[in-house]
Amino acid sequence: MANDKKGVSPLATGVAGAVIGAAAAAAAIALSDEKTRKKAEKVLDQMQKEGNQMFKEIKRIALDLKERGERALEEAKKSPKQLPEKGKKKA
């Protein structure tokens, strides 16, 4: 039982490391070119702006839902509904 090993195989780890290394090398070569670097900066800036807009919209929706939930909770506290008692038979 003590020899039961679970996890990622060494072969899979080696392949993943090789893929990551190749991607890093390709990125370094691509970013060494000034035109490519400028394009990458523009794309990243645009993605950041879009991400910020999405975050603001999600935050606005979340706050709206929170307010609606709080109002519904207060309404429920003000006028609790009469729930039928369990086990009580109707005549």
Residues 6+ apart with CB under 8 A from 40: 30, 31
Supply the DSSP symbol for 87. Answer: T
Longest dimension (CA), the chain: 86
pLDDT of residue 1: 44
Q: pLDDT of 44-63, one tens digit each? A: 899 999 999 999 999 999 99
Quick one: pLDDT at residue 87?
57
Q: What residues of the chain score a pLDDT lower than 50?
A: 1-2
Instruction: Please tell me the predicted confidence (pLDDT) of residue 76.
Output: 83
Residue 22: C-alpha distances to residues 26, 31, 39 (Å): 6, 14, 21
Give CA 15 to chain center in angstroms: 27
Residue 19 three-state SS: helix
Domain boundaries, the chain: 34-78
Please tell me the pTM assigned to this model. 0.45
Q: What's the CA gap between 44 and 36, in Å, rounded? A: 12
